[in-house]
Amino acid sequence: MTAVVDRPDRASEAEPDQRTRTPSWLRSLWLHAFGLLVVLVALLPLIGADSVFSADEGAAMIQVDVLDRTGRWSEASPFPLVDPQGERFGVHLSHQLDDGTFTYFGRRPAYTLALLAAAQLGLGLAGAVGLSILGTVAAASAAAHLTRHWRPNLDWVVLWVTGLLSPLAFNSYWVIAHALAAGAVGWALVFLFGRRDRDPSRRATLAGGVLLLAAGMVRSEAVLFAIALAVAFLVVDLGLERTPRPRFVIAGLAAAGGLLLNRLLASTLVGTIVGGASGIPSTESFGFFDGRVNALKATVLRVSPGGSQPIDFLLVLGIAVAAIGVVANRREPNARLFGRLAVVGASLAAARFALDRETVVPGLAMAFPLLPIGVVALRPRHVAKPVGRIVALTSILFAGAVLLTQYDQGGTAEFGGRYFAVMLPALVPVLVVALADVGSAAPVDARVAWRVGVGVMAAATVSMGLFGLHASKARVSQLVAAERSAVQTVMAETGEPAVVLSTVNAVSRWSWDLYADTRWLIVAEEDLAATATSLDRAGVSKFVVVGWGIDPDVTETLGAFERSDRTVAWAGSPWSVSIYAGGAA
């Protein structure tokens, strides 16, 4: 029985299906998916696989290493005499269990176990990153399949746009489960939406629910997406005056199941969390409303991670010019102006890239220009079918839920609003179709200019992100190399794991592969001398201090200890690594 959900509207029936003119080899999504996998893997050595970008990645890798070495999910504080309450525990945002030990990444045990399995392959950090690459390929393939509900001939285009020109390209190269969750959500939608001409089978509906549940176990925002999807299923079915399909129940159960099963797994494998290692508290605070506004700016609108720069206006202006091109084409469908405006927009975006190519763009609308331009290009026919309405309503509800619940500072280290990643497989197909429809009545050269222009804009921002990712990883690698040299020096002289004091919360997590050979404490700069005195009483004769912007004159001595060596991470760097000796020696 043909369902209303997948009946093509008149507009789509009138559109020519270019698939009949497309070579068979070009239509093979498996071939395109394999090609995307090859490209993403080939880029890995260029971007770097020997260090992390986000401190959260380091926490995950520390957890995997501890689990692999000891078989346990938690460890005791290395200095109960110096830090009896665990307030200075060396890994920021660790969680304290009811037995007094600390777990590093215990709130997502399913993802940790997946990383552990990857670690068994002996590929180190590259193996862990490989999971994210596979997640991006899965998400892009799912987006391509979803495109067939609108325009089957664009499925392979959507695959490459999702995999290489969206924020998922960036998410492929870090050890956080955004790409994996996006892949699971994307294929859940493929199963739940069914084929173009029929509703999904019961098995497909159940498979979609299982994938949504799995996504919710590795990323909290996937739970929000499942809730938004359940509401959208129900609202659209009621709006069509038909009996709601069981899909809304399955999506709702998947949301609850992912949340509850993750908690059950965490409490069973890891233990009961009673507190956390707060590290050095942030001096920045917001009220609820101000926090929402700041989060909106950070995760949607910001170009530069450290705040706005004058050159950021080039990218903003480029996106605006291309959006004006959409409006111009709507008023004069036969004119060439829209194509010329796209070229101008691309030139502005390329200029922003040329002026500072190492920019990890945090805002979704800025990192993924196809989103704001595509939204302007949307026409009623693109969301006329039930599947289009479901995608639109789910995206709106989900984005609102993320903005209401995320941190005041957004995702901190991120490209393209990382908490929005799971909606990209659903959203990219309709955006690409809308953008492809712009200028359908215009001359061929104008259409080519339009498509090349918006493609260049997307490529420019993703390239900035990947160059910035490479640069950030390189700087972290240099800092860790300086730490490693100091740690090895102290270990050679003392014969025991080196004591390391960090004045920045993230450092120990960046230095995840050093953690097993060290005893870390997070200490505010003004508390270094007092902590040195406590270490002296505990019998420590040498220790390392890692910090940012520490005044070398003020810290020449710390208590009974004197600085014996000081190294900066790289020329002109504010990061320093110092060795102190004395005290109990």
Q: What are phi and psi of 558, to 5 degrees?
A: -130, 105
User: Which residues are within 8 A (CB) of 10 and not within 5 positions of it... i.e. 6 or more apart?
Assistant: none
For 384, the 3-state DSSP assignment is: coil
pLDDT for res 264:
95
* Tokens, residue 78: 């290395």
Could you give the CA distance from residue 557 to residue 562 in angstroms, rounded to a whole number? 4
Question: What is the β-pairing status of strands 102-103 and 498-502?
Answer: unpaired
For 402, the 3-state DSSP assignment is: helix
Nearest Cα to 582, choosing from 540, 537, 544, 528? 540
Could you give the CA distance from residue 284 to residue 288 in angstroms, rounded to a whole number? 13
Q: How many CA atoms lie within 13 A of 64 on its CB side?
A: 26
Handedness of CA 206, 212, 218, 224 (dihedral sign): negative
Nearest Cα to 222, choosing from 272, 188, 174, 247? 188
pLDDT for res 466:
97
pLDDT for res 158:
98
Nearest Cα to 582, choosing from 555, 552, 543? 543
Q: How many residues can be counted in the chain?
A: 585
3-state SS, one letter per residue, for 305-324: CCCCCCCHHHHHHHHHHHHH
Nearest Cα to 150, choosing from 490, 427, 362, 340? 427
For 277, the 3-state DSSP assignment is: coil
What are 577's strand-pairing partners?
Answer: 546, 567
Which amino acid does the sequence have at 14? A
Nearest Cα to 373, choosing from 458, 273, 307? 458
Question: What is the β-pairing status of strands 557-558 and 561-568?
Answer: antiparallel
Angle at 196 between CA 190 and CA 197, to 5 degrees: 130
C-alpha dist (Å) from residue 440 to 147, 149, 160, 259, 504? 18, 19, 22, 45, 54
Could you give the CA distance from residue 181 to residue 187 in angstroms, rounded to a whole number? 10
Could you give the CA distance from residue 17 to residue 28 in angstroms, rounded to a whole number? 16
Q: What are phi and psi of 567, to 5 degrees?
A: -130, 140
Could you give the CA distance from residue 203 to residue 575 in angstroms, rounded to a whole number? 56
Handedness of CA 179, 268, 259, 290 (dihedral sign): negative
* Tokens, residue 480: 């860790």
Could you give the CA distance from residue 114 to residue 580 in angstroms, rounded to a whole number? 40
Which amino acid does the sequence have at 112? T
pLDDT in tens, the chain (585 residues): 334 333 333 334 344 444 445 555 556 899 999 999 999 999 999 999 889 999 999 999 999 999 999 999 999 888 888 888 888 899 998 999 998 899 999 989 999 999 999 988 888 899 999 999 999 999 999 999 999 999 999 999 999 999 999 999 999 999 999 999 999 999 999 999 987 767 788 899 999 999 999 999 999 999 999 999 999 999 998 888 776 778 899 999 999 999 999 999 999 999 988 887 667 766 666 788 888 898 899 899 999 987 788 999 999 999 999 999 999 999 998 889 999 999 999 999 999 999 999 999 999 999 999 999 999 999 999 999 999 999 999 999 999 999 999 988 887 889 999 999 999 999 999 999 999 999 888 899 999 999 999 999 999 999 999 999 999 999 999 999 999 999 999 999 999 999 999 999 999 999 999 999 899 999 999 999 999 999 999 999 999 999 999 999 888 999 999 999 999 998 889 999 999 999 755
Nearest Cα to 437, choosing from 164, 195, 168, 153? 153
Could you give the CA distance from residue 209 to residue 207 in angstroms, rounded to a whole number? 5
Give the number of other Cβ atoms within 10 Å of residue 327's Cβ.
12
Say if residues 481 and 510 touch (Cβ distance below 8 Å): no
Say if residues 336 and 447 touch (Cβ distance below 8 Å): no
* Tokens, residue 179: 């790409």
Widest Cα–Cα separation across the chain: 85
For 91, the 3-state DSSP assignment is: coil
Could you give the CA distance from residue 243 to residue 245 in angstroms, rounded to a whole number? 6
Which amino acid does the sequence have at 504? V
Question: What is the β-pairing status of strands 518-522 and 273-276?
Answer: unpaired
* Tokens, residue 470: 């490479």
pLDDT for res 24:
57
Could you give the CA distance from residue 250 to residue 253 in angstroms, rounded to a whole number? 5
User: Which residues are within 8 A (CB) of 167 and not within 5 positions of it... i.e. 6 or more apart?
Assistant: 364, 367, 368, 415, 416, 417, 418, 420, 421, 424, 462, 465
Say if residues 583 and 559 touch (Cβ distance below 8 Å): yes
pLDDT for res 100:
87
Q: What are phi and psi of 339, to 5 degrees?
A: -65, -40
Say if residues 438 and 450 touch (Cβ distance below 8 Å): yes
Could you give the CA distance from residue 101 to residue 95 in angstroms, rounded to a whole number? 8
Angle at 383 between CA 229 and CA 394, to 5 degrees: 15
Could you give the CA distance from residue 53 to residue 60 in angstroms, rounded to a whole number? 12
